[in-house]
Structure formats: structure tokens, C-alpha cells
Structure 1
């Protein structure tokens, strides 16, 4: 395990989405005080997670967001994570995810977590 520079912390949480449950599209922008937004790593522990990030779709997606909310999902590059696989999302990157048919268990590791600073594509989502 590495040692973090003074003043730096890493946060961790477990996410347990139900089958096909979707986390709305959002990003972690630079904060008003100038500090970078959150960088986060998703590590799949159980099930399957369909993570979508900014970029062009390489192949047609294997899952879709809720039909009534399609206009609020613009990230199209799909990364499928199986148990033991992980992916890191850089700050200020639009992303959303959906659990597979069994649901999922995801460990999320992040830098300088501040969920109140998240910006959602769907303006109806409030923290």
C-alpha cells in the first residue's frame, strides 16, 4: 500500500445496485475553490456493471438507460466490468452506470470525495 502525500485522502464506499438499476449520468467538476473534481475507480466485486463514459460507442450498447430519460444520457462508450475488473474515471468526465441482471457489488475508491459538487445531466436530479 502506498503512502499518500500530506493532506491527501482516499475515500472508499461499497455500492450495491439492484438488477438493472441505473446511476444517472453525472460528472465531478473542478470545485469553486479550484481543487480538482473527484477521480474514482470502480472495482466490480459481484455481478456485472455496465459503465458508460464520454467517447464514441465502439459497438452498440448492451444495456440502455431508462427509456423515459434517454435525453439525459450522452456518454456512449461502454466498459463492462466483471468481478475482479476495475476502471478509473478522471475528474470532469461524464459517466453513468447500470448493474447487470444479477445486480452488482462495486467498490468505489475516490480522491477528495465531495458528492455535493456532482453535476447531473438531468436537472431534475437533486442532492
Structure 2
């Protein structure tokens, strides 16, 4: 059973899927993953997702960020079977502020969550509007945040192994134990 904050987050995430005209089955709605990263502040640092497929070769997901919600900085390192996960984000609804390694954008649009700034180290800004996409290559530090309307993102990637993601913030647990 979900806690009240998680119930609220789930309801809001499903509303954003509707606004983006993303049709989910009842099973997908019921199995919506709410990742709070063990930080107990899901509406600030969190991510909601539905995984359509995750095979040995490919993965497809829908991601939802609530208004101003941040997915913390992380990377997908080399794994025993490849160089790490490669993923393409395609914005479906809202605005996504994506930050990756590279030259720092001096006048950034958004900032990391207040109090957690020390865990954010990459500031090359890419702004994705609906219909725009960006590919993140293996072992690249990145984080992303939604604008004021929230955001819906389709993710297309190589095999996903969330338990191997490496977060800059040592407090984070990606997969519930």
C-alpha cells in the first residue's frame, strides 16, 4: 500500500500521462513505479515510471516528473555485458531541463534542489520541448528537472539495470531493498 505522499504523486503522474495523451493499460497504471531514491522527499527528488519492455538488448519506458521535480545526478557505468546503458529521452509534454557533462551553461534556467546542491556537478543545459530528443551515452553524468507544468518523457535505451546506476549523492538507493 502506498503512503499518502506516494498516492498523491501517483495520482498526479497519471494526470500528466493523460495530458500527454499517453495511453496506459490498467496493469501499467497499477504498477506505476514511484522512485523516491530513499530520500523521503519524492515531490522534490523523484521520478515516476512505467517500463514497457526491458530485454537483454532494449528497453522502453515512460517517465513522469511532477512540476519542478528532479531526477538526481547519476550515470550508467560499464557493465559486464556492455559499455553501459545508452538512452534517448524524447519530451512528450512540458519542458525538461537536462544537464549533462560538458561546458557549463552560465545562465542556467533551473537549479538543483535546495540543500542538495553539493550532489550536482554537471551543468551543461539542454532544454527539451515536446517533440525534441537527446541521446545520453554510457557513463555520462546527467540529471534532469521538469518545468512548472511537469514533464512526460519517453525513454528508449539499451538494457536497463537500474540497480547498477551510480549516483553522485551517496544517500541514494535507486532500487527498493
Please, what TM-score do these two structures have when normalized by structure 2?
Answer: 0.65
Helix, strand or coil at the partner of 2:98: strand
Q: 1:9 aligns with which of 45, 48, 57?
A: 57
Q: 2:68 aligns with which of 2, 14, 20?
A: 20
Helix, strand or coil at the partner of 2:117: helix
1 or 2, which has the higher strand percentage? 1
Paired with 1:45 and 1:9, the residues of 2 have a C-alpha distance of: 24
Greater RCO (Cα-Cα under 8 Å, separation 6 or more): 1
Query: What residue ranges of structure 1 are gaps of 5+ in the alignment?
Result: 1-6
Helix, strand or coil at the partner of 1:71: helix
Paired with 1:58 and 1:94, the residues of 2 have a C-alpha distance of: 15
Helix, strand or coil at the partner of 1:67: coil
Query: What residue ranges of structure 2 are gaps of 5+ in the alignment?
Result: 1-54
1 or 2, which has the higher helix percentage? 2
Helix, strand or coil at the partner of 2:88: strand
What does residue 112 of structure 2 align with?
Answer: 65
Paired with 1:86 and 1:98, the residues of 2 have a C-alpha distance of: 15
Q: 1:79 aligns with which of 126, 130, 152?
A: 126
Paired with 2:136 and 2:122, the residues of 1 have a C-alpha distance of: 12
Paired with 2:136 and 2:158, the residues of 1 have a C-alpha distance of: 11
User: Between Structure 1 and Structure 2, how many residues are aligned?
Assistant: 120
Counterparts of 1:1-127 in structure 2, within 5 Å, are 9-31=57-79, 33=80, 35-127=82-174
